[in-house]
């Protein structure tokens, strides 16, 4: 079961990543998809894959964690969940969030 202390940072993470996809992911494109996948395992880990098939992140930055207040906030919320956030190397921009249920 996920409790309120996990739902609030999780909601803020999802809001930021979806908003980033909408605002930045489809510049110059007529259409695109945002996808979301949620799973859990017997170790009480929750895994969320969220991303888009848009234009992707600018490759000039060394890391997806640099230069964005929004992503910095996402990282703070991921820490509150004692989780990990990784960018998956696919077309568009896709993130994998893993954390344990309380």
Per-residue pLDDT in tens (0 to 9) along the chain, 102 residues: 778 899 999 999 999 999 999 998 999 988 999 999 999 999 999 999 999 999 987 654 444 555 688 889 999 999 999 999 999 987 899 999 999 998
Domain assignment of residue 41, given as a range: 4-100
3-state secondary structure the chain: CCCHHHHHHHHHHHHHHHHHHHHHCCCCCCCCCEEEEEEECCCCEEEEEEEECCCCCCCCCCCCCCCCHHHHHHHHHHHHCCCEEEEECCCCEEEEEEEECC
Q: Indicate the pTM of the whole model.
A: 0.86
Q: Output the domain CATH number for residue 34.
A: 3.30.565.10
How many structural domains does the chain have?
Answer: 1
């Amino acid at each position: 079961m996920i409790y309120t202390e996990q739902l609030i940072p999780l909601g803020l993470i999802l809001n930021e990543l979806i908003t980033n996809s909408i605002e930045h992911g489809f510049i110059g494109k007529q259409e695109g998809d945002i996808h979301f996948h949620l799973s859990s395992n017997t170790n009480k880990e929750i895994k969320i894959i969220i991303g888009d098939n848009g234009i992707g992140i600018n490759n000039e930055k060394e890391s997806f964690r640099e230069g964005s207040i929004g992503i910095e906030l996402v990282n703070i919320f991921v820490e509150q969940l004692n989780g990990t956030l990784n960018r998956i190397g696919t077309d568009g921009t896709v993130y994998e969030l893993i954390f344990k249920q309380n």
